[in-house]
Chain A
Amino acid sequence: MTLTIALACAAALLALAVAAVALCRFAAATRIVYGACMVVTAISLVAAAGHLLGDEPQLTATLPLGVPWLGSHFRLDALSAFFLIVVDLGACGASLFALGYGEHETAPQRVLPFYAAFLAGMTLVVLADDAFTFLLCWEFMSLTSWALVMSHHRVPENVYAGYVYLIMASFGTLALLLGFGLLAGPGGLYSFDAMRAAHPSATIGAFVLILALIGAGSKAGIVPLHAWLPLAHPAAPSHVSALMSGVMTKVAVYAFVRIVFELCGAPAWWWSIVVLAAGGVTAVMGVLYALMQHDLKRLLAYHTVENIGIIFIGLGLALAFQTYGLPFAAALALTAALFHVFNHSVFKSLLFFGAGAVLTATGERDMEHLGGLIHRMPQTAFVFLVGCAAISALPPLNGFASEWLTFQAILLSPALPSWGLKILVPAVGGLLALSAALAAACFVKAYGVTFLGRPRTPAAAIAKETDFFSLAAMMLLAALCLVAGVLPGLFIDALAPVNMALLGAHMPQQIGAPWFAIVPVTASRSSYDGLLVFLFMVMSGTLAASAIHRLASDRLRRAPAWDCGYPDASPSTQYTAMSFAQPIRRVFGTTVFHARETVDMPPPGDMRPARLTVEIRDLIWDMIYAPVATGIGIAADRLNRLQFLTIRQFLSLVFAALVFLLLVLAIWS
């Protein structure tokens, strides 16, 4: 039943996409389409949630579509139900946001149809249960999001971004295709059930793991396959950016989990090492890239890379524990990863909505041209602050809860017998801690430069608070951040069926614990209670405030800023994003980005202004992508000469081929 509802919702979305093509000449189209999308996804959300929380048995359906002799299989089990929740939640929020935001769209006919189709694609990916259907929906999802990236196609950067995105997406799809080809074998057993039954050999499993890491990783943004992500995500309209960053990357995580934990057999000892290393590097590199950015949306995109890294660290740990038969530890790690999947989808959507609101209010994505927005758009500023705190893993919000669980999982890893892991895991833990701290720094920068201080441009100075729908969406997600942070136990329990299905074990029941605390293993070992911490902070804060206001003074006077007696008139004397990141750039950037600062200080009496220029190189691009591109260019040039041969030369080609084959025949026996 639930599956039927989910499929029906997907079908409805597709129909909506078709209808949108016809509708979008009308003014009301935006409201209609987004409203309908919101309703449909809400229905599907409720259904999926019911299925997961009710811990109902898995449902399957087969439609006479796809590969003819196979049909297209769909299946709703705990895992897909969970990811369906993530998808639908993000989609529902984005649609609500877009009810307001979409009004500013100049070319709705380039957004509306693809938006609905995009949602349908993501929904179907998590439901698909055979290789063909999966890849079909997967690539359909990429294709529609590509169209959305291209929606503002008059900006050359966007076209370029779309180009890179499409190539990387197809690259990933082909990798997955090869992987499925291996799993299906020459007989072409494409249904996942057959693959589950097949128990592939170790070598095949290894190949599939690598291919899955490449295929799903390139979509999720694993370094060094992330290159397209910071280009494409910001290029799309903000609610789509939110979906791509917050939800589509999670669909990629789903693909990875589905393949690695379910389809490709018993893990070998080195699998988890690969995944852990990839995750750790991704987490730190992502946040370091983000620190170097001053484009708000691109900064957020890079943070998606970082959080994907954190998720993959959790997955790697789960894989390691599973390899060595520690199901409960594996359950803890997997829970941490999946919980972070949910959390990241919530606060990343929230942050992208905020960025979108700022974009519509000021027309600026560059933080260096913003500032002081907290005065002009107080509510947006507040919810954005919640998002920043959540993604910076500050208690009592949800980001901290999932990262705390990841740390707990890391602390269980001495039980692992493998030496490689013994060395690697603490290092990865260090990377995780580093990325968390850097993330906090980065969001101090993002929020401080964008919303605090004084406006740096007239546009920022006259910004208006965003519309009702956008605010509603953001408030909703902000509230969710708090709830998930304060009552993590509920979510952990909800994830139990998923762990049960994948690992055959799950974390201890959390509901029983007093005050909704979460206890991964035992209370004496470690426990955390977001609710209590939250209450304590509120209590002590209010206590202090009331005490001081009651007993001591509550007088207040406005005056010019003191600033050590150097009152600076111009807003341009404030710290900018680049200058804020300068100390960290000096610490990390010189090695990671070959960052170089050159100061041009004119001698006294010289009128020209002093200049400080910063050069940053993206080494990954320079070392991997650029060479490939040039290589293909050279090959194309070489071969292109063949277009300009004379007829005689072409004839001699034919002649040569003939003689060659005859020679082969003469020698062949």
Chain B
Amino acid sequence: MRVDALTGVLLIPAIAAALLAVLPGYRMTARLNVVATTATLLCAVSLFFRRPPTGSYLLVDDLNVTFIVLTTFVGFTTSVFSASYIAHELETGRLTPSSVRFYHAMYQVLMFAMNLALIANNIGLMWVAIEMATLTTVLMVGIYRTHEALEAAWKYFILGSVGIALALFGTILIYMAARPAVGEGLDAMVWTVLVKRAGGFDPALLNLAFVFLLLGYGTKVGLAPLHAWLPDAHAEGPTPISAVLSGLLLNVALYALLRFKMLLAVNAGALAPGPLMVTLGLISLVFAAFMLYRRRDIKRMFAYSSIEHMGIITFAFGMGGPIANFAGLLHMTMHSLTKSAIFFAVGHVTQVKGTQRIADIGGLTETHPALGWGLILGVVAIAGLPPLGIFMSEFLVVSSTFARAPALAIILVFGLLVGLAGLFLRINSIAFGEPRGPSAKAKASYVPMFAHLAIVFAAGIYMPPALVVWFQNVAGLLG
């Protein structure tokens, strides 16, 4: 196959993975990891400018290029963060050199899988990729081999595989639905074809398929009540993985859902996917908001906040319409950046304080000002307070919803408020008050965290017109 930016996005991580699997020595491998992600990022960015032609397996269009760039970017920053994080883990001996090698290899495999899932033009291929991503993350969650880690990984594995299985069944059903209209063979699984012909599909089959896909990929998105794997996986895995999980993997699954939603949207006879997504979204939002109150583990708390935001995003896309879709996209981007930034901060916090228990962390702004204020800024952003990006998306979602469906908007607002109260209940005791826990200086690079926050901040006030046009196109595509 021709080697261009598109294949680069796939090949670089694959090759890097192979290399990292064999190379010894954490320092070099960490660097190599960063280099690989950088290269991938550059390739992805170049996709903005040169669109490679659409094949029957790979595809780049307005919708997924946004996701690709976001994914590769967060992947890059996370690799930078993970370098300093893993170093500390080695010192404390929580990880052995061999497991670090495994970790780096898996990291690249994960990148590969996610990129593949995003640029796949074939629903089967996309399914394979997501399955792959799931399995790699399962392995990484279990990497610490503690009881809790194993239990989390096991739970993640079981629930994830079931979800994946359901998604596969849905995929098959889509094929079945497409076959009469498109004809047998490869074409019946190719996006670009499917979207064109979706009007002629059997609506009943489409509905059935969507139910399975919604539950299957919804499990990966972490929508309640399919969310169970998410908090533990975030809490027990290495923090960089938590960042990637929250920031990227959930998005990838959501991306898949959106694709299928577009299919249903084209077909007149099929049931509207909106209400289902709206319902699931609201359930997740309110549920996660209440779950924030009784959290004792800082990483698990932010995992629940991810569920909350996935709920908001799903809700926005479910509502549909140019403004809501725009808001959904914006919210997704902002959430990825903010949540990963928060996990960067949390990673350092847990390392300097030597614990994840909220009760043992206190007065962070006294002992580690940069870290503390960074964390606060992140929480302020994630809570939807201005002048950061999520405020804009929430503003658009709520205001555009209230005029259309007041009741829904009221529930939404209620969930947001409850969630905010829950978050600050904890963050107050973490960041303020008398310092608790050790106050040794953190050997950490704050660059990724503050880079993310800076972008989020800027986006909250000013969005470059090019990006806006981009988002508006995509919002139009989503219908």
Contact = CB atoms under 8 A, between A and B. Distances in A.
Interface of A: 64-69, 109-110, 131-132, 135-137, 139-140, 143, 150, 153-154, 156, 159, 162-163, 166-167, 170-171, 174, 177-178, 180-182, 184-186, 188, 190, 632-633, 635-637, 639-640, 642-643, 645, 647, 650-651, 653-654, 657-658, 661-662, 665, 668
Contact of B291 (A135, A143, A642, A651): A642
A650 B155 contact: yes
A640 B395 contact: no
23 contacts: A65-B461, A66-B462, A67-B392, A135-B395, A140-B386, A154-B433, A159-B429, A167-B421, A170-B383, A170-B385, A170-B417, A181-B401, A184-B403, A186-B404, A637-B294, A642-B287, A647-B158, A651-B158, A653-B225, A654-B159, A654-B162, A657-B225, A668-B207
A639 B398 CA distance: 25
Given A136-B461, A154-B363, A170-B383, 4 more contacts: A68-B465, A135-B386, A632-B421, A636-B291
A633 B461 CA distance: 35
B306 interface: no
Given A68-B465, A181-B399, A653 B424 contact: no
B4 interface: no
Contacts of A137: 386
Interface in B400-431: 400-404, 409-410, 413, 416-418, 420-422, 424-425, 428-429
B207 A665 contact: yes
B211 A661 contact: yes
A257 B62 CA distance: 44
Given A153-B433, A154-B433, A632-B290, A66 B461 contact: yes
Contacts of B215: 654, 657-658, 661
A654 B291 contact: no
A661 B166 CA distance: 13
Contacts of B155: 647, 650
A154 B434 contact: yes
B228 interface: yes
Contact of A647 (B159, B276, B323, B468): B159
Nearest to B394: A177
B291 A140 contact: no
Q: Across the A-B interface, give the 10 residue pairs with the lowest CB-CB distance, nearest first.
A: A181-B399, A181-B402, A650-B228, A636-B293, A153-B432, A68-B468, A640-B294, A186-B403, A653-B225, A136-B386
B433 A182 contact: no
A191 to B, nearest CB: 13
A185 B402 CA distance: 8
Contacts of B421: 167, 632
Nearest to A132: B395
A163 B424 contact: yes
Q: Is the interface of A mostly helix, strand, loop or mixed?
A: helix
B290 A143 contact: no
Contacts of B400: 181, 186, 188
A448 B394 CA distance: 51
Contacts of A188: 323, 396, 399-400
A156 B433 contact: yes
B290 A639 contact: yes
A170 B420 contact: yes
A384 B363 CA distance: 37
B424 A166 contact: yes
A136 to B, nearest CB: 5
B271 interface: yes
Nearest to B402: A181
A110 B373 CA distance: 11
